[in-house]
Structures are given as structure tokens and as C-alpha cells.
């Protein structure tokens, strides 16, 4: 081996800067369909004005004013204009023309054209919703040129690839106050998402106050629920941003919170308590009890009236049917009607529910389990199962589409599983390569990212949603061909910072937790460690669902950690690049030395902060692994051999370092392992 190494000192871990975009890319996410960029700029001045024409009242006027305030905040220019109206169209810097008011309903019209040139800024859209999407693009285009804020000259034609681009929030397992919903609707709008799906009931809580059954929240919510007026506020706030809101009441399983006040509707002769743990539980509505249908008809009628959206999500997932098996009356019912399996019984239930909703002019949607032969083709199938559940990802999505059901995808978009943005990004609901005829393809409406809240609170949820959610938002809006992972990560870092403008807590809350854990010490050494760990993935952090209860503290080490540890990812990539000959030795060494020295700085913090004892090994493992990496790196550079026994010991330590600490896992071990591989490879090549 005879590579030569040039020792150019590099700063490996620069923060993302507001540098100009790569030549061919603008810094916009999700990426527009067609971008024609020029190397000229339109400078933003204090007298910047906006004027509107067409049918823009009141939504576009309000959102354009909001745009003006956000641009003012971004530039600090103290604009003279403080409220947008239709006057002064010809003289305005930004002219927006819309044809008609858009309906915030399925298939809303979101296309727009944005032109920036000598004539100023122009937005043209069929509906005000398209113009609102254009304003979000525009804000992301702000650059600095010649010491001033500017927009690049550009021509953009844009429209979404999929019409259903959603975020499901589980507000049942941990309740989310209004301001959490608001700021995340702002984030959704920034990323051109258009459906907020609220999972309003589950074993851990029932979150809508109703007049028909006030006892549902009185007994089943710990006092944490939305009033109708509050839901109305959420719906209005969303509609202002061109976002639909779809409610979900999960039945017949996941229904413990309902049964707390209505045990007579359950399948077991017992009483129920609000569930404090996570998992799949037995309490289930009794599908053989007519009172259940009467109850749901009344309940759905009241809930359905709150939400203008035509869709109503009935859940329908994960019912094990154990209470059905144990109930003689239910068994007798099944026998009498020739219902052989629990699955068929649930089908019987679903079909009846579908009819109730159809009578209320609602389209039923449900998790993929509702797709049974008798389910009308008008229902929408929500595909969620995949590798974790032992089935082929997207199998139900394609089966549904081929059978003539509309369908959306959530498998691959579960943000609570703590997977990387890359994994989410590369999950395409309907790639061209999949064998689907035009008809079937047209049934795939899009997808929804899911934020189940067993392990998140109102404070930590943002850091689980963002920035990874932006990668999914791009997958659902942009063309299939927009799939360059490096470029996605480049823009994702910019979006990550951009989203903080909206007062999301995805950056600040992890830092706040670290400050508390640091117990008065400088949190820097903790941050160095945190940057290279990720929370345990999938369902492994909370074994059996009982390590944490809903009231447990979620302000611990793992709650500060986020998925997709950028520093570790960059390190691993740089090791690969170094091994291919890139001159990265000095910066890798600097990084490894920092990690090697870190544990000694963490130890005194742990002494003053016993809650951190659980990361003691994790921290030691980082330093040990970094030391191995540093020694291997130096040997590679010096073209010096290392004894096989040393490498074996180092590998053994790496294996031990894979154990979790504080419910998180080190993510930079792969890079160290590559360095050890290289040491072994050199030795065997010389043997």
C-alpha cells in the first residue's frame, strides 16, 4: 500500500453556514419541481411592499402579512408596510395574483409559479393556497449578497407529487397543549405538509370533551383534553395555512380510556383504569353489543360535526381479541352468525361503523387492518405495518391500491422509531419501478409521518419531529428523482436552523435538558458525547412497555439525544473518504483526541449529578473507542503495523461499546471499526 497523505488541517465539524447553495440547488425544502436559477439578485429594502389581486380575502391577506413580519424578523429591516392589502399593485415589490379561494379539502389546489427578475417578485397561483405555498418557498430563498439581504433571480414552477402529505400526532398517550399544535402547524406549513391527523383517543387517554358523553374526558383524560372551542381554533389555525385536520377515534381496540367511564361497552365484565404503560392491551369494545353502535353513532356525530374534513379515522388496529375469546356471549354471537375468527368479527364491527359514518357524510379511513373483503371501496386504507411487524413494507398499500381503495403510507415514516432521515427519505410510496397500473397508482394518495407519543412529551416532541420530518415532507412533495441523500442532508441542516425561527424546541429543549443534567457545570463535555449517540431504536428503549410510565420523567439523557447524530455520521463518512485517499487525517485525529479526552471531563459532572450515572460506561466507551481509532489512524498514516492481539482487544472493546448507556447508543463505532479493518488489511497484505 503506497498512498501518500497530505496533511491539510481541516476543521471537520463546521456549523452549517448560510453559504450559497450548490450551483444547481436552491436551499429550499421540499425541493420544487422546476427551478431555473440565475446569478443575479433582487435586494430587499425597508420600503418593501406586497400587493395582492384576485380573490384573496381574508386568508391570503393574513398570510402575506405574516410573511412580511417573518421577513422583517429575518432581515431586521423594520418594514414601513405593516399590513398587506390589495392596494398599490403596480408599484409593489412582491405582486401576488390568485384566481380563486382554495378549499382546504382533499385535492386542494397547491400549484404556483414564482418569478424573481428585474420586474420584481411575482407569484401566480390558481388558488390562495398555492400562493401561500409560494410564500414559504420565498422565505427560504433569502440570501446574503454584498452585505445585504436578497432573493436570487429565479423562476420556479411547483406543485406537489402527492395530494396527501400528513403528520399524525398522538395526543392521547401524552397530551399536547394548543401551543404545541400551533408551532408544529407552522412547521408543517413551512414544509408544505397539508394534513394534520390527530390521534385523539387511546388506552392512555380520551382527549375531546363532548356534550353527549362528558364523562369520557371527566374520567378518561386526567383533565388533559381539548374543548370544542379549542379544536375549532386548531382547525382554523390549520386552515389559515392550507392544512386539513382529520380526527381519529381508535376503535374497537385501544379503547381503555373510553371504557373507564363506559365499562358496560367493554368485552370483559370488569372495570377499567386509564392505562399508564405502553403496549397493546386487551380492553376492547364489544362488537356484539348494540349499545356500542348507539354510543359510537352519537359520539361520532358530535366529533364529526367539529371537523369539516370529509375523512374520519376509526383506527381499527392491533386488536388481539383476547377479551372476545374469553366472553361466552360473544362466542355465542359468532357461532350464531357463522363468524369464524376474531378478524371476521372485527370486520363485522368495521362495516357497521363505516355505515354509521357514511350516514354522517364521512369517508371512513383506518389502519390497514380494516381492509377486508366487505369493506366498501370508498374507505381509505392507512398502510402502517412493515419489518417491525414481520410483514413486507408497503404490501398493504399496494394491495389496497390494486383492489381499488385509496391508500396512504405510514410505514417507513414512524418518527418515534428513531431511524435516520436517510431511511425515511428513501421510502418512496410509489416508485416508478413498482408494477402498478395507472388506475392503481392513482389510488396512492400520499403518506403521513407518525409521531406516537409513548416516549415524548409536549417539550421533547419537536426534537423527534424535526428536522427528520422535513425529509419525509420532501419525499411526498418533490419528484421521485429528487433523492440525492447528501444533498438532502445539506439542505436538512439549513432547514433545521430555519425551523427554529418558528419557535420550535427541537434545538433548544435538548440543550435545556443538558443544562439541567450538568447541574451547574459547563455542559460542553456532555454535548460532545450527546452528539455521537442516538436513542435506542425501534421499540427497544422501553422493553415490555413498562420501563416508562406516562408520568415518568422524560428529561433524561435519552430524551436529550436525537435520532440521526450528525457528528457521528460525518465522522463515519470522513473515515471512508480518508481510506479512499482523501487528506482527512489531521481532522480525524483532532476529533478522536477530543473524544478520547472527553470522559475525564464527564466524570466530575456525573459525580455532582447522580441521574447521569447511567452514562458512565457510555462515556468511557466513547473515549476508549476513540483511543483505539486514534492509535489505528496513526499507524495507518505512519504505515506502521499493529499487533493482531492489539486489534483483537480493540475489537472486543468496540463490541462492548455497542451496549446502550442511558438508553442511547454510540454511533461513531463504525468509523473506528473501518480503521481497525484497514490495520488488519495492511497486515494481511504484508503477510
419: closest CA among 488, 471, 496? 471
Shorter beta-carbon distance to its own copies: residue 488 or 499: 499
Cα dihedral value 421, 422, 426, 427, nearest 10: -40
Question: Which grid cell is 469?
Answer: 420530518
Shortest Cβ 409–its own copies spacing (Å): 34
Question: Residue 64's beta-bridge partner residues?
Answer: none
Parallel, antiparallel, or unpaired for β 148-158 and 94-100? unpaired
Find cell 398522538 and name the residue. 170
Parallel, antiparallel, or unpaired for β 94-100 and 50-54? parallel
Question: Using CB under 8 A, which of 16, 111, 139, 395 touches its own copies?
Answer: 16
Shortest Cβ 174–its own copies spacing (Å): 13
Question: Using CB under 8 A, which of 56, 67, 112, 149 touches its own copies?
Answer: 149
Question: Which grid cell is 559?
Answer: 430524551
Shortest Cβ 492–its own copies spacing (Å): 13
Contacts with its own copies, 529-558, as mask; x by CB under 8 A: --------------------x-xxx-xx--
Shortest Cβ 556–its own copies spacing (Å): 5
Contact 55, 96 (CB under 8 A): no
Shorter beta-carbon distance to its own copies: residue 33 or 497: 497
148 binds its own copies (CB under 8 A): yes
Alpha carbon distance 377, 465 (integer Å): 32
Alpha helices in 247-404 (DSSP H): 256-261, 290-306, 322-325, 328-337, 342-359, 395-403
| Interface with its own copies: number of residues (CB under 8 A) | 52
Question: Using CB under 8 A, which of 46, 503, 640, 658 touches its own copies?
Answer: 503
Q: Count CA atoms within 13 Å of residue 89 on its CB side.
A: 9
Shorter beta-carbon distance to its own copies: residue 11 or 638: 11
Contacts with its own copies, 258-277, as mask; x by CB under 8 A: ------------------x-
Contacts with its own copies, 161-180, as mask; x by CB under 8 A: ----------------xxx-
Question: Which grid cell is 19?
Answer: 453559504
Shortest Cβ 502–its own copies spacing (Å): 11
507 binds its own copies (CB under 8 A): yes
Shorter beta-carbon distance to its own copies: residue 567 or 669: 567
| The one segment of 415-423, 435-443, 511-519, 642-650 that binds its own copies by CB under 8 A | 511-519
Alpha carbon distance 631, 113 (integer Å): 56
- Cα–Cα–Cα angle for 479, 480, 485, nearest 5°? 105
Q: How far is CA 69 from CA 65, 192, 389, 514, in A?
A: 6, 19, 46, 32
Question: Using CB under 8 A, which of 92, 171, 445, 494 touches its own copies?
Answer: 494
CA 168 from chain centre, in angstroms, equals: 9
Helix (H, G, I), strand (E, B) or coil at 380: strand
Shorter beta-carbon distance to its own copies: residue 65 or 403: 65
- Please tell me what DSSP assigns to residue 489: H
Strands (E), 238-294: 244-251
**Structural Rg of the chain based on CA atoms:** 27
Shorter beta-carbon distance to its own copies: residue 273 or 335: 273
| The one segment of 299-307, 329-337, 447-455, 507-515 that binds its own copies by CB under 8 A | 507-515
Q: Which of residues 189-228 bind its own copies (CB under 8 A)?
A: 227
Q: Which of residues 559-618 bind its own copies (CB under 8 A)?
A: 607-611, 613
Shortest Cβ 65–its own copies spacing (Å): 9
The CA-to-CA distance between both ends of the chain, in Å, stands at 13
Helix (H, G, I), strand (E, B) or coil at 606: helix
Q: How far is CA 533 from CA 411, 558, 568, 665, in A?
A: 24, 9, 8, 5
432 binds its own copies (CB under 8 A): no
Q: H or E segment at 618?
A: helix 616-637
47 binds its own copies (CB under 8 A): no
- Cα–Cα–Cα angle for 247, 250, 251, nearest 5°? 135
Shortest Cβ 232–its own copies spacing (Å): 12
Shortest Cβ 20–its own copies spacing (Å): 11
229 binds its own copies (CB under 8 A): yes
Question: Which grid cell is 487?
Answer: 444533498
| The one segment of 103-111, 484-492, 498-506, 637-645 that binds its own copies by CB under 8 A | 498-506
Shortest Cβ 622–its own copies spacing (Å): 21
15 binds its own copies (CB under 8 A): yes
- Cα–Cα–Cα angle for 477, 478, 480, nearest 5°? 120
22 binds its own copies (CB under 8 A): no
Contact 363, 310 (CB under 8 A): yes
Active-site residues: which are they? 318
438 binds its own copies (CB under 8 A): no
Residue 60's Cβ-count burial label (10 Å; 0-12, 13-18, 19+) is: buried
82 binds its own copies (CB under 8 A): yes
Shorter beta-carbon distance to its own copies: residue 34 or 524: 524
Alpha carbon distance 55, 474 (integer Å): 29
Q: Which of residues 50-79 bind its own copies (CB under 8 A)?
A: 69, 72-76, 78
Shorter beta-carbon distance to its own copies: residue 379 or 605: 605
| The one segment of 140-148, 189-197, 324-332, 460-468 that binds its own copies by CB under 8 A | 140-148
| The one segment of 10-18, 92-100, 205-213, 434-442 that binds its own copies by CB under 8 A | 10-18
Residues in the site for its own copies, rule: CB under 8 A?
Answer: 15-19, 69, 72-76, 78, 82, 144, 147-149, 177-179, 227, 229, 276, 459, 494, 497, 500-501, 503, 507-508, 511-512, 515-516, 518-522, 549, 551-553, 555-556, 607-611, 613
Amino acid at each position: 500500500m503506497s498512498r501518500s497523505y497530505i496533511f491539510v488541517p481541516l476543521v471537520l465539524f463546521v456549523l452549517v453556514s448560510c453559504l450559497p447553495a450548490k450551483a444547481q440547488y436552491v436551499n429550499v425544502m421540499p425541493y420544487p419541481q422546476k427551478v431555473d436559477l440565475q446569478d443575479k439578485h433582487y435586494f430587499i429594502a425597508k420600503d418593501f411592499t406586497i400587493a395582492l389581486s384576485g380573490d384573496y380575502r381574508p386568508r391570503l391577506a393574513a398570510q402575506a402579512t405574516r410573511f412580511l413580519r417573518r421577513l422583517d424578523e429575518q432581515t431586521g429591516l423594520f418594514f414601513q408596510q405593516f399590513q398587506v392589502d390589495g392596494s398599490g399593485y403596480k408599484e409593489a415589490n412582491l405582486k401576488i395574483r390568485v384566481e380563486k379561494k382554495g378549499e382546504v379539502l382533499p385535492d386542494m389546489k397547491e400549484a404556483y409559479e414564482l418569478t424573481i427578475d428585474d420586474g420584481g417578485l411575482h407569484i401566480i397561483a390558481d388558488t390562495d393556497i398555492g400562493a401561500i405555498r409560494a410564500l414559504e418557498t420565498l422565505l427560504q430563498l433569502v440570501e446574503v449578497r454584498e452585505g445585504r439581504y436578497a432573493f436570487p433571480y429565479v423562476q420556479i414552477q411547483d406543485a406537489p407529487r402527492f395530494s396527501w402529505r400528513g403528520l399524525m400526532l398522538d395526543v392521547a398517550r401524552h397530551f399536547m397543549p394548543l401551543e404545541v399544535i400551533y408551532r408544529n402547524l407552522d412547521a408543517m406549513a413551512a414544509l408544505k405538509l397539508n394534513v394534520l391527523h390527530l390521534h385523539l383517543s387511546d388506552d392512555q387517554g380520551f382527549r375531546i370533551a363532548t356534550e353527549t358523553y362528558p364523562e369520557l374526558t371527566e374520567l378518561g383524560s386526567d383533565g388533559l383534553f381539548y374543548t370544542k372551542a379549542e379544536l375549532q381554533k386548531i382547525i382554523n389555525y390549520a386552515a389559515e395555512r392550507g392544512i386539513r385536520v382529520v380526527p381519529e377515534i381508535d376503535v374497537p381496540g385501544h379503547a381503555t380510556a373510553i371504557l373507564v367511564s363506559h365499562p358496560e361497552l367493554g368485552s370483559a365484565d370488569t372495570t377499567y383504569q386509564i392505562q399508564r404503560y405502553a403496549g397493546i392491551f386487551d380492553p376492547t369494545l364489544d362488537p356484539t353489543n348494540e349499545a356500542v353502535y348507539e354510543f359510537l353513532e352519537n359520539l361520532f356525530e358530535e366529533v364529526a360535526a367539529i371537523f369539516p374534513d370529509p375523512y374520519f379515522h376509526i383506527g381499527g388496529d392491533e386488536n388481539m381479541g383476547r377479551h372476545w375469546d374469553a366472553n361466552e356471549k360473544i362466542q355465542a354471537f359468532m357461532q350464531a352468525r357463522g363468524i369464524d375468527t376474531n378478524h371476521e368479527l372485527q370486520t363485522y364491527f368495521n362495516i357497521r361503523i363505516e355505515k354509521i359514518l357514511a350516514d354522517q357524510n364521512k369517508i371512513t379511513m383506518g389502519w390497514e387492518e380494516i381492509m377486508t373483503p366487505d369493506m366498501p371501496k370508498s374507505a381509505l386504507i392507512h398502510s402502517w405495518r412493515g419489518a417491525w411487524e414481520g410483514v413486507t413494507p408497503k404490501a398493504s398499500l399496494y394491495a389496497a391500491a390494486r383492489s381499488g381503495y385509496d391508500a396512504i403510507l405510514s410505514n417507513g415514516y414512524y418518527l418515534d422509531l428513531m431511524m435516520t432521515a436517510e431511511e425515511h427519505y428513501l421510502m418512496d410510496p410509489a416508485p416508478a419501478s413498482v408494477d402498478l397500473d395507472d388506475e392503481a397508482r392513482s389510488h396512492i394518495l400520499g403518506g403521513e409521518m407518525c409521531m406516537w407519543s409513548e416516549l415524548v412529551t409536549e417539550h421533547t416532541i419537536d426534537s423527534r419531529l424535526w428536522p427528520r420530518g422535513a425529509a419525509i415532507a420532501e419525499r411526498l412533495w418533490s419528484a421521485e428523482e429528487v433523492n440525492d441523500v447528501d444533498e438532502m442532508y445539506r439542505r436538512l441542516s439549513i432547514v433545521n436552523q430555519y425551523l427554529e425561527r418558528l419557535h420550535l424546541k427541537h434545538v433548544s429543549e435538548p440543550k435545556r435538558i443538558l443544562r439541567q443534567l450538568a447541574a451547574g457545570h459547563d455542559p460542553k463535555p456532555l454535548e460532545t458525547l450527546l452528539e455521537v449517540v442516538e436513542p435506542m431504536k425501534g421499540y427497544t428503549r422501553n422493553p415490555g412497555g413498562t420501563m416508562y410510565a406516562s408520568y415518568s420523567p422524560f428529561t433524561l439523557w435519552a430524551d436529550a439525544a436525537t435520532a440521526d447524530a450528525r457528528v457521528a455520521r460525518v465522522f463515519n463518512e470522513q473515515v471512508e473518504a480518508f481510506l479512499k485517499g482523501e487528506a482527512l487525517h489531521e481532522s480525524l485525529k483532532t476529533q478522536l483526541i477530543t473524544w478520547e479526552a472527553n470522559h475525564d471531563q464527564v466524570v466530575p459532572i456525573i459525580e455532582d449529578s447522580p441521574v447521569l450515572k447511567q452514562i458512565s460506561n457510555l462515556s468511557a466507551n466513547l473515549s476508549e473507542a476513540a483511543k483505539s481509532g486514534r492509535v489505528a489512524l496513526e499507524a495507518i498514516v505512519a504505515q506502521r503495523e499493529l499487533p493482531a492481539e492489539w486489534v483483537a482487544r480493540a475489537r472486543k472493546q468496540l463490541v462492548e461499546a455497542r451496549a446502550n448507556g442511558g438508553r442511547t447508543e454510540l454511533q461513531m463505532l463504525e468509523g473506528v471499526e473501518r480503521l481497525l479493518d484497514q490495520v488488519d488489511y495492511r497486515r494481511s497484505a504484508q503477510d
